[in-house]
Amino acid sequence: MKKSKQFFMVPYFLWIALFVVAPLLLILYQSFTDGQGHFTVRNYLTYGSSSVYLKMSLNSLWYAFLITVITLLVSYPAAYILSRLKHQQLWLLLIILPTWINLLLKAYAFIGLFSRAGAVNHFLMFIGIGPKQILFSDFSFLLVASYIEIPFMILPIYNAIVQLDPALPNASRDLGASPWQTFRLVTFPLTLSGVKAGVQAVFIPSLSLFMLTRLIGGNRVITLGTAIEEHFLTTMNWGMGSTIGVILIVMMFVIMMLTNDRKKKRREVLDDEKTTL
Amino acid sequence: MKKILMMMASILALCGVLFLTSKQLSAQAGATTQANTLNLYNWGDYIDPGLIKKFEKQTGYHVQYETFDSNEAMFTKIKQGGTAYDLAIPSDYMIEKMKKANLLLPIDQKKLPNFKYLDQHFLDQSFDRGNRYSVPYFWGTLGIIYNDQQVSASEVQHWNDLWAPKWQNELMLVDSARDILGMTLISQGQSVNTTATTTLNQASHKLDQLSINVKAIVADEIKTYMIQEEAPLAVTWSGEAAEMIDQNEHLHYVVPSEGSNAWYDNMVIPKTAKHQRAAYAFIDFMLDPKNAAQNAEYVGYATPNKAAKALLPKKIRQDQQFYPPLKTIEKLEVYQDLGAQKVEQYNDLFLKFKMYRQ
């Protein structure tokens, strides 16, 4: 039995080796080469000494942070209310439904809505505010990016809330805590794992959103993804493109570490609590 | 365990069925053998599909049409050699680069009886002296497109007009480092092929000042936006402009008289070609004045084919927007391949411009 188990592992190992580890190593290797394939650390020096790249990295982090905060602010209450509703599966389906639609289609739909002659401006004119420039602004970029990422935030939070033992908030109420105290001291800390999973699922892809920066942001919003695309397609400096790629990966690892570590510790605490309960 | 095996077996069976179906479908679509195919690699929507059908009927070759959306993407794919393209249609500076990279086969003009119809003016360009590797397909310019409802013609005759405070947050630009820095260089009386760092930095400084006027830096979407009147003016290529004007009569296109970039898209035979005979047949077919005229009318770009131009309706032939007067043509400059280092400098400056906020 043990042998056959190992046999079934082979495809997974192959998959991970070929499609996860090998590409990562290739990117790492490329980032240390120049155009002629010689070893160099110049790419990293260029990155570190260029105010353009540093500003762009900060931009990426800042926008990803904003997107994450906005989605979190929307998603937590939504997931909380959702867990208290009657037809949860139906509501859940409605939330997941937009993810079945291609990202590009959604972006184009927003372009239609936000454009000068679009529905939103018609409405603004109707209520007397007059047409506004909505497309190609930070506002529209953040809105669309958040809209797209929201399902990925709601789902893990919802799961965490549903898994929460209802006896715990009940006990807290029994012991005299106000609803706010119950939420702050019991419900929220115990569903933090869902929040962290959601933050990972939103923050990491948001770091390199580049289709949206062009379509919705009109390239007035620039993130590292823009630079990577440019280096691979226009300047064909794959070394520099890979370097930025490596930096993005490092950023993602940092985010993973920040959100993972505490989760583990917390789980131990949770287990302790369970045994003491 | 049994269940898993059953699942795996059924998935494999499903894959098999899908594979056979797709094979069946592709066989029906083409009935192709390897020998009579022409692998054509072209820009999207850059040929009258009617002509491909006509070519297939006339010669019996089957055309496999694949598209790219940037010269660089095309270069990468041909260099990697995954697909053996028989004919590609890159732009001028890219031909220079492909030549340097040894990716092109020389073209024997004796095998192209229709070559004589090409206008001498568009042959023997700096990127391919003597047209040893390339045959011009279309040519065009970089210019300004504007909507006459918000902009009067006299307001946008020159590149410098774009910097006017009146256009705050109104201007759209094509997402191309070479073109945008190029037009800035021309506005300062410099060449689009400038390599001197100080001149480039001056241009970059001037370009940064344009940032406040820029609404968006986009690619193909400019077409939709201008047609829908999202912006009153934009910097774009003549061919794109032709399509926009087609769909919105308020739009007009100007090539500033102080100069601009002229670009050529040319047919070339990559080193990877496996069906050279088909490639030659296709080039000659496209050079036939009747076909070239039909194609020019469909695509809307300017044809370098003299005989074909004569066949075009008068309205197109005499349109100065797309067939500018000789005086302007003489001031147009073709992009040269500046080498990796300079290309990167252009792109870094452009990136800096994109990031620039007042």
Both tokens of A85, joined, read 């509703």
CB B333 within 8 A of CB B139: no
pLDDT tops 60 at residue B31: no
DSSP states of A191-211: THHHHHHHHHHHHHHHHT--H
Of residues B269 and B35, the one with the higher pLDDT is: B269
A201-227 tens-digit pLDDT: 999 889 888 888 888 988 888 889 888
Predicted confidence (pLDDT) at residue A175 exceeds the cutoff of 90: yes
Percent of chain A with pLDDT over 90: 50
- Pick B141-262+324-355's CATH classification: 3.40.190.10, 3.40.50.261, 3.30.420.40, 3.30.2400.10: 3.40.190.10
User: How many CB pairs below 8 Å do chains A and B form together?
Assistant: 74
- Residue A67: its pLDDT value, please? 96
Q: d(Cα A98, Cα A139) in Å, to the nearest integer?
A: 21
Bridge partners for B138 per DSSP: B265
Average pLDDT across chain B, whole number: 91
One CATH from 3.30.70.2740, 1.10.3720.10, 3.40.630.30, 1.10.10.10 for A54-222+247-276: 1.10.3720.10
Is the pLDDT confidence value at A146 over 80? yes
Task: Provide the 3-class DSSP secondary structure of residue A41.
Answer: coil
Q: Are B273 and B85 in contact (CB under 8 A)?
A: yes
Q: Which of B167, B222, B233, B354 to mutate to test the interface with A (most CBs of A within 10 A)?
A: B354
pLDDT above 60 (res B142): yes
The SS3 assignment for A222 reads: coil
Is residue A276 very low, low, confident or very high in pLDDT (cuts 50, 70, 90)?
A: very low
Label residue B173 left, alpha or beta by phi (over 0 means left) and psi (-120 to 50 means alpha): beta
Mark yes or no for CB contact A136/B229 under 8 Å. no
Question: Among candidates B35, B46, B58, B50, which has minimal Cα distance to B282?
Answer: B58
Report, as an integer, the average pLDDT of A68-94. Answer: 93
Share of chain A above pLDDT 70, in %: 93
> Which residue in A has a C-alpha nearest to residue B220's C-alpha?
A215
Q: CA dist B89 to A199, A262, B296, B309, Å?
A: 46, 56, 15, 20
* Global confidence as pTM: 0.83
pLDDT recorded at residue B259: 93
Nearest 5°: the CA angle A236, A240, A243 is 140
Residues of chain B in contact with residue A226, where contact means CB-CB under 8 angstroms, are 351, 354
Domain spanning B26-139+264-317, CATH class:
alpha beta
Give the model's pLDDT for residue A237. 85
Which residues are within 8 A (CB) of A190 and not within 5 positions of it... i.e. 6 or more apart? A160, A164, A168, A270
Contact assessment for residue A79 and residue A157, using Cβ atoms and an 8 Å cutoff: yes
* Interface check A260 vs B, CB under 8 A: no
Interface of A with B in 135-194 (CB under 8 A): 135-136
Structure confidence by residue, pLDDT tens digits, B51-103: 999 999 999 999 999 998 888 889 988 988 878 899 999 999 899 999 999 99
Specify whether the CB–CB gap between B130 and B124 falls below 8 A: yes
Q: What distances in angstroms separate CA B40 from CA B32, B106, B278, one per listed residue?
A: 15, 17, 10
The chain-wide mean pLDDT, for chain A, equals 87
pLDDT at A16: 93
**Average pLDDT of the segment spanning A23-28:** 93
8 Å CB contact of B75 and A218:
no
Percent of chain B with pLDDT over 70: 97
Is the CB of residue A202 less than 8 Å from the CB of residue A149?
A: yes
A275 band by pLDDT with thresholds 50, 70 and 90: very low
> Does A49 reach chain B within 8 Å, measured CB to CB?
no
Confidence of residue A277 (pLDDT cuts 50, 70, 90): very low
Q: Which of A63, A234, A240, A243 to mutate to test the interface with B (most CBs of B within 10 A)?
A: A234
3-state secondary structure of B176: coil
Q: Which pLDDT tens digit goes with each residue over B303-318?
A: 999 999 999 999 888 8
Spatial contact of B40 and B63, defined as CB atoms under 8 Å apart = yes
Beta carbons within 10 angstroms of residue A272's beta carbon: 10
Q: Which residues of A touch B347 (CB under 8 A)?
A: 230, 234-235
Tell me the shortest Cα–Cα distance from A238 to chain B, in angstroms.
11
In this predicted structure, what is the pLDDT of residue B29? 55
Q: What integer pLDDT is reported at residue B265 of this predicted model?
A: 94
- Please give the Cα distance from A215 to A231 (Å, whole number): 19
Q: Which residues of B touch A (CB under 8 A)?
A: 70, 72-73, 75-76, 169, 172, 175, 177, 214-219, 221, 225, 228-230, 340, 343-344, 347-348, 351-352, 354-355
Compare all CA atoms of chain B with the CA of A230 and give the residue at the minimum distance.
Answer: B347
pLDDT tier for residue A131 given thresholds of 50, 70 and 90: confident
Which of these ranges, A124-128, B21-25, B168-172, has the smallest mean pLDDT? B21-25
Nearest to B286 by CA among B39, B87, B141: B87
Give the single-character DSSP code of B121.
Answer: G
Contact A35 B340 (CB under 8 A): yes
Tens of pLDDT, residue by residue over A225-251, are 888 888 887 787 889 999 999 999 999
Does position B174 have pLDDT exceeding 80, yes or no? yes
Query: What beta strand segments (E) does chain B contain?
Result: 37-43, 62-68, 87-88, 104-105, 134-147, 171-174, 214-218, 233-237, 251-254, 262-270
Q: β-pairing, B171-174 with B233-237?
A: parallel
Contact state of A235 with B76 under an 8 Å Cβ cutoff: no
Shortest Cα distance, chain A CAs vs residue B215, angstroms:
7
| Chain A neighbors of B73, CB-CB under 8 A | 233
Query: What pLDDT shows up at residue B28?
Result: 62
Higher pLDDT, A276 or A256: A256
